[in-house]
Structure 1
């Protein structure tokens, strides 16, 4: 978050196709073993998949009670039994790109059991993901937060997506974030990521329908989630969302960038 307030308008870039895969590490081995395997051997399998524009691993803090401000009617405390350990974020180069990587994806399926106990995939409609250019010249990302929103029962996808886009545009224009990405997911379908020997249970009342990803420096991130401005925006969000789970991100590692696998990940 910039030290000075930069109120301005930022245009969003729409991406061809983005998938978000929440992950839970196995509990029969040390958590660090899972972290190391994910960003080591497993990342090499995923990075070799053709058709990617970008592949990132978003590592979430082990203790994540929830950063989002308490809001009447909105679940902001993250339940311990469903707390996510990390998210694989894949951006494809084109809508047809997933067809190019089917062979490599099968290898990823087989390897999941070595590190994860539960995974599932959220996918959005083509060109529904938006990346906002919110960083000023020379500004770097110092801390990250990831937010999953659950669409309230009875709210249709269209009004929900419209409100999310308005919320993102408001946040982008306030000059408080270094990076902002949004997705609106299609209804969850287990068959999209039905990997063997790994749990895929995702009850209807636990499913999410959008993710809002914002980045700032550590002190600014804390101030952002304590701010009266966000509390006001959250109250306006309540008619559309029944849950807002904001995670503390410990690492965001990029393994594929601009369509090319990197020799070593970038933060």
Structure 2
């Protein structure tokens, strides 16, 4: 199955470089790479041009002007560029284990979207990777709270897919999720009212469920490593949570301020 790998980024070309190299090294390669760029400087565009020369995978760079944290907007713009029916979404500060896409595709099924886990790397491990001192995160350097997320085991992966955290959306991470393009369009994509950081991935997941799409949890596979960085501002989080609670209580599926701006 042909896959669009959707990567969001903002002004961290060194991390994006590691992310792209890990995408190039996949046992099952994406049919295209979409980069949703929330207003990065010119050096990110230059890096992407350099990386294009190192792969035969088409790389589509979608950029808009930097007017603050507007991830939902750039994600929606980039989703419209996706050429393939299945989209795997990550962030540009992620390093993928080489079976990441293959593991996701094991769980790909009509009527479902998929949520994965991550391994949070520490400051020192991240520094070594960015300096080229390590090519891959050393296993025993992982935080003990995340070490189980670094394991792959197919029988458990299949067993847990529809059983682990079956009724919970709070484990969802936009840096490791997958969905059918038709499904994300059916709920009108991401809610662009959610500016700044927080809950945009959980909110869209609830709307997918309310539209009739079920959730699978990718455990014991789909391994990814999240480079250390400072937290983004959470100044708008109370409003985001207010929007989320309304979506949950009223079982809302369609957001008005999404990909399509005209009301249905």
How high is the TM-score relative to the length of structure 1? 0.28
When you count helix as a share of all residues, which structure comes out higher? 2
When you count strand as a share of all residues, which structure comes out higher? 1
